[in-house]
Amino acid sequence: MAYSDKVIEHYENPRNVGTFRAEPEVDASEVGTGLVGAPACGDVMRLEIRVKDGLIADARFKTFGCGSAIASSSLATEMIKGMTLDQAAQIKNTQIVQELNLPPVKIHCSVLAEDAVKAAIEDYKKKQASRATAPVRETQAAAPAATPEP
Amino acid sequence: MVAEATTAAAQRSITIPVPDGVRLPLFLDNHSTTAVDLRVVQAMLPFFTQHYGNAASRNHSFGWTAESAVDRARGQVAALLGGDAKEIVWTSGATEANNLAIKGAASFLRKQGNHIITVETEHKSVLDTCKRLQREGFEVTYLTPAKDGLVTPEQVTAAMTDKTILVTIMLANNEIGVVQPLAAIGAAIKAKNAKTLFHTDAVQGFGKVPFDVEKARVDLASVTAHKLYGPKGIGALWVRRKPRVRIDPIIDGGGHERGMRSGTLPVPLIVGFGKAAELAREEMAEEAVRLNALRDRLYKGLTSRLTETYVNGSLEHRLPGNLNISFAFVEGESLLMALKDVAVSSGSACTSASLEPSYVLRALGVGDELAHTSIRFGIGRFNTEAEIDYVIELVVVSVERLRALSPLWEMHQDGIDISSIQWTPH
């Protein structure tokens, strides 16, 4: 299958790759992490947002998946920067499909990217809520939404 | 340890200098098909415009010339599998040959029994044919191979009943290149019930590894030209004459090929198949040594520089030139994209419409997460050492780049057991 130029462009030059955990200047309390997908299904996306003053100031991602999955998550990090949490939660996978010209067989990649954004927002909100109730406990680095069991 | 911070160098795709003598795109997918050898093309050419007669025309020289060329090719193909020229039935390819063997035998032997034995790792043209027969009332046993891809003679005979009319097991697998012990399996089948027919889809191993229908005790063998540096569109079913094996045709018509396969013979393609078989017979031993060396060079080059790589299937009982290997934490299609000027294939779901990873790797018990990261390299007659060295470099750099992009690789580096995470299948 031939890839669209935009998918290739994001695949070759992915934006915002990495993790805030590796960036000492980022306070873990500002970060929300979404980890979606499954290795057995062939794609896993981890998308992190850094929230400042109610806006998504920055984002990071890493993706295990095909070129379209990598491109979808790369594009998603670009789209949500500067948005409020509510705006980012409104992101639709169809915008990603359109922007990247994804064929039908790759639509699930865009769905996963949308899910990753939503999961990151949820994680951030949950963290804020638990900080409000038990501020002392939440000092650790951002844990992924799906955490390893002991 | 937390993975390295975002660095531009780790993200961008990297271009590897192409050495002299390496031309892109580069073909390393010789299990899917092969280039036609120029010597084969030369042999075929006169049969398009000069000797274009119908091999079934009995009353003029055009027909006689065509027929004698076809008969010569029968001998060339038969010689490569240790059979007789009269036992070759031309088909359009191996899919048709497999259909003819299995459906033809099942139809002819229906009164004797309704049980067929095959293996989960067979080609779709065998599996789907068996599935159709199941819908028509036949019973099919699908044997599960061991982790190395091999089936044992004991497994086969244990599955045999007094209703078993046919066992069909491939010579070599198209994905993992594993070569089955056909001689031992054939002997075991015949010892248990001499009447049970033994068919092999010999396509991938034909002309690549020694294969002899007498030693393997097979009754039917499917072969094709285009995996053997011959043209696409021509295959053959070898049908044993002593003792005579009878099957029903699936294509009726003018009674060509002793009534087993009607249709005008594609003489140029048949001549090409014959020439390709002749070349393989002369050069196989030498070529196998060379392809094995190239495969080992690729294997060592990749595994000495990359950790967490897993060869799928037995490395010992394997076609020369085949390497099926998983690069853990790197999804196969994304790696194919990085290798865009190198033709290889992947067991990743994303390369198929079904979104399910390779059924062959599943049958071996390879987990889906590793199956998604598998790449099949198929080295062939026209590949060179310089090409292999270039591919090693390109794969190593690409896997490293994609691992830097992979959350699973990062977790693995951090000592997190991926299987302990509650994933959300989608």
Q: Which amino acid makes up residue B407?
A: P
Measure in Å the smallest separation between the Cα of B369 and chain A Cα atoms: 4
pLDDT for the residue numbered B341: 94
Q: Closest chain A residue to B373 measured between Cα atoms?
A: A42
Instruction: Give the mean pLDDT of B48-70.
Output: 97
Measure in Å the smallest separation between the Cα of A48 and chain B Cα atoms: 12
B8 has a pLDDT exceeding 90: no
Query: Could you give the dihedral angle defined by the CA atoms of residues B72, B74, B76 and B78, in that order, rounded to the nearest 10 degrees?
Result: -150
The chain B residues in contact with chain A (CB within 8 A) are: 2-6, 10-13, 329-334, 337, 348-350, 353, 355, 357, 367-369, 372, 404-410, 416-418, 420-426
Instruction: Give the mean pLDDT of A83-88.
Output: 98
B329 has a pLDDT exceeding 80: yes
Contact A42 B10 (CB under 8 A): no
**Number of Cβ atoms within 10 Å of the Cβ of B50:** 10
pLDDT for the residue numbered A96: 97
Q: Which amino acid makes up residue A82?
A: G
Catalytic, A66? Answer no
Residue that is written with structure tokens 């394997």 in the block = B318
Q: Closest chain A residue to B331 measured between Cα atoms?
A: A65
pLDDT for the residue numbered B153: 98
Q: What ipTM does the predicted assembly reach?
A: 0.89
**Number of Cβ atoms within 10 Å of the Cβ of A123:** 23
Measure in Å the smallest separation between the Cα of A92 and chain B Cα atoms: 17
Note the pLDDT tens digit of each residue in B292-322: 999 999 999 999 999 999 999 999 999 999 9
pLDDT for the residue numbered B98: 98
Confidence bin at B5 (pLDDT 50/70/90): very low
pLDDT for the residue numbered B1: 40
Which residues of chain B are within 8 Å of residue A19 when distances are taken between CB atoms?
A: 2-3, 410
Of B257 and A149, more confident: B257
Note the pLDDT tens digit of each residue in B78-109: 999 999 999 999 999 999 999 999 999 999 99
Is omega for the bond preceding B243 within 30 degrees of 0, making it cis? Answer: yes
How far apart CA B15 and CA A13 sit, in angstroms, is 13
At B209, give phi and psi (nearest 5°). -130, 155
Cβ partners under 8 Å of residue A85, min gap 6: A51, A54, A56, A121, A124, A125
Percentage of chain B lying above the pLDDT 70 cut: 95
Q: Determine the number of helices (DSSP H) and then strands (DSSP E) in chain B.
A: 15, 13
Confidence bin at B16 (pLDDT 50/70/90): confident
Q: What is the DSSP letter of B307?
A: S
* The two structure tokens encoding residue B336: 């194919």
Instruction: Give the mean pLDDT of B23-34.
Output: 97
3-class secondary-structure state, position B141: strand
Confidence bin at B348 (pLDDT 50/70/90): confident
* The two structure tokens encoding residue B320: 């020369």
Which residues of chain B are within 8 Å of residue A3 when distances are taken between CB atoms?
A: 337
Query: Among B85, B160, B183, B350, which one carries the catalytic annotation?
Result: B350
pLDDT for the residue numbered A146: 52
Measure in Å the smallest separation between the Cα of A85 and chain B Cα atoms: 23
pTM of structure: 0.92
pLDDT for the residue numbered B425: 75
A29 has a pLDDT exceeding 50: yes
pLDDT for the residue numbered B7: 46
Characterise A37 by phi-psi region: left (phi > 0), alpha (psi -120 to 50), beta (else): left
Q: Closest chain B residue to A119 measured between Cα atoms?
A: B424
CB pairs under 8 A between A and B: 129
Instruction: Give the mean pLDDT of A54-74.
Output: 97
Q: What is the DSSP letter of B84?
A: -
Which of B11, B329, B367 shows the shortest C-beta gap to A64? B329
Query: Among A41, A105, A129, A141, which one carries the catalytic annotation?
Result: A41
Angle between helices A67-80 and A93-100 (to 10 degrees): 120
* The two structure tokens encoding residue A140: 């650790």
Q: What is the DSSP letter of B105?
A: H
Report whether A98 contacts A138 (CB < 8 A). Answer: no
In terms of C-beta density within 10 A (0-12 exposed, 13-18 middle, 19 or more buried), how is residue B367 classed? middle
Which of A64, A111, A147 shows the shortest C-beta gap to B331? A64
